[in-house]
Amino acid sequence: MAAIRTLTRRVGGSMSGMSLLRPQHSAALFSTSAKAQFKVAVCGGAGGIGQPLALLMSMCDLVKEVSVQDVSMAMVPPAGVAADLGHIEYPAKVNGYAIDPSKPAVDQLAECLTGCDLVLIPAGVPRKPGMTRDDLFAINAGIAKGLAEACAQHCPNAIVGIIVNPVNSVVPLVAELYKKKGLDPLKIIGVTTLDIVRANKFVAEITGQSPLDIDIPVIGGHAGVTIMPVFSQSTVASGISVDRIPDLDKRVQDGGTEVVLAKAGKGSATLSMAYSGARFGKSVLAGLAGTPTTECAYVASSVTELPFFSSKVTFGKSGVEKIHDIGPLNAYEEGRLAEAKAALKVEIETGLNFAKTF
Least distance CB 269 / ligand LMR (angstroms) = 4
Q: Across-strand partners of 93?
A: 65
Binding test (CB under 6 A) with ligand NAD, winner from 11, 20, 46, 245: 46
How far apart, in Å, do the first and last CA atoms of the chain sit? 52
Strand 218-220 vs strand 319-323: parallel, antiparallel, or unpaired? Answer: unpaired
Query: What is the rounded distance in angstroms from the CA atom of residue 202 to the CA atom of residue 216?
Result: 10
Identify which of residues 135 and 184 has a Cβ nearer to ligand NAD in the complex: 135
Q: What one-character DSSP code corresponds to residue 144? A: H
Identify which of residues 190 and 316 has a Cβ nearer to ligand NAD in the complex: 190
Binding test (CB under 6 A) with ligand NAD, winner from 125, 196, 252, 320: 125
Q: Which residues bind ligand LMR (CB under 6 A)?
A: 126-127, 133, 165, 194, 255-257, 259-260, 268-269
Residue 85's binding partner among ligand NAD, ligand LMR, none (Cβ under 5 to 8 angstroms by kind) is none
Residue 126 near ligand NAD by CB under 6 A: yes
How many CB atoms sit inside 10 A of residue 4's CB?
Answer: 15
Binding test (CB under 6 A) with ligand NAD, winner from 61, 70, 149, 215: 70
Length of the chain: 358
Distance of CA 332 to the CA centre of its chain: 27
Least distance CB 333 / ligand NAD (angstroms) = 22
Comparing CA positions, the residue from 147, 152, 126, 161 lying closest to residue 295 is 161
Which positions ≥6 away from 202 have C-beta within 8 Å?
248, 251, 252, 255
Residue 259's binding partner among ligand LMR, ligand NAD, none (Cβ under 5 to 8 angstroms by kind) is ligand LMR
Which positions ≥6 away from 356 have C-beta within 8 Å?
none
Residue 284 near ligand NAD by CB under 6 A: no
Binding site for ligand NAD (CB under 6 A): 43-44, 46-50, 69-71, 74, 99, 101, 122-127, 136, 140, 143, 146-147, 163-165, 167, 191, 194, 222, 267-270, 273
